[in-house]
Amino acid sequence: MINSKQVKEILFGLGADLCGIAGIDRFDEAPKGYHPTDVLPTCRSVISFGCRFPAGTLSCNSPVPYTRVRNSITPKMDAMALNFCIEMEKYQIACVPIPTNESQWDENTKRWRSVISLKHAAQAAGLGTIGRHSLLITPEFGSMVWLGAILCEQELDCDELKDNICNNCNACVNICPVNALEHSELAQQACWDYAFGDDQTIRSWVISCHKCRDICPYNLGTENSFIKKQPNSGSFDQ
């Protein structure tokens, strides 16, 4: 057997900056087909972890650094989750890694979804709370954190939930160029069509908009307070 403290020590040793644990009872409102037990029927705990995303990329005049960091951090986190699951099997505990950036089409809701919502898992594990812009906000890194999750057969001690961080100032709603935050649920396709795509000038796929992330007053967290916000950052003309 292994306890929650040991679980976190392993993940921190693998490179995680944040780690929290949620019991399966915290996922009662998960959509049908996307509950942890829909993936692993014997799941009793969900382990959520996060890695800080370099906040300096928000200040760049080019979308390339932000895009390349995003593309690099994904395989890093997938490798961390895989190595953790391998390590746990040495303790005879079965765990399953959830892909960090992989979606499947949900015909019922007409949305792309991960097999488990990483941001909802992180909120359930006490890492932070989901803001009006639909991103997770953590006290330490704001929304500049990338998320991973692992399903575990062992029942582990859970972390306390965080109090709501977002104050619903609606700055993100008002700045969105395509009104993707006009309603309570993100207009996913409108957001993705605008923010992600080929830049014809440099002939490369880039993430060209993060206005909602940049304007959020809780975007940076305590660990990134040294970063100076740029008045016109958040999107790049194409």
pLDDT digits (tens, 9 = 90+) for 36-82: 999 999 999 999 999 999 999 999 999 999 999 999 999 999 999 99
Low-confidence ranges of the chain (pLDDT < 70): 229-238
Where in the sequence is the domain holding 52, given as residue range(s)? 4-152
Is position 232 within any domain? no
Do 120 and 220 belong together in one domain? no
Residues 28 and 143 in one domain: yes
Contact by Cβ (8 Å): 125, 73: no
52 plus 126 within the same structural domain: yes
Domain ends where: 124, 152, 180? 152
With beta carbons less than 8 A apart as the criterion, state whether 132 and 148 touch: no
Predicted confidence at residue 200, as pLDDT, reads: 81
The verdict on residue 190 lying in a domain is: yes
Please state, in angstroms and rounded to a whole number, the distance separating the CA atoms of residues 33 and 97.
17
User: pLDDT of 165-185, one tens digit each?
Assistant: 999 999 999 999 999 999 999
Cβ contact 114:99 at 8 Å: yes
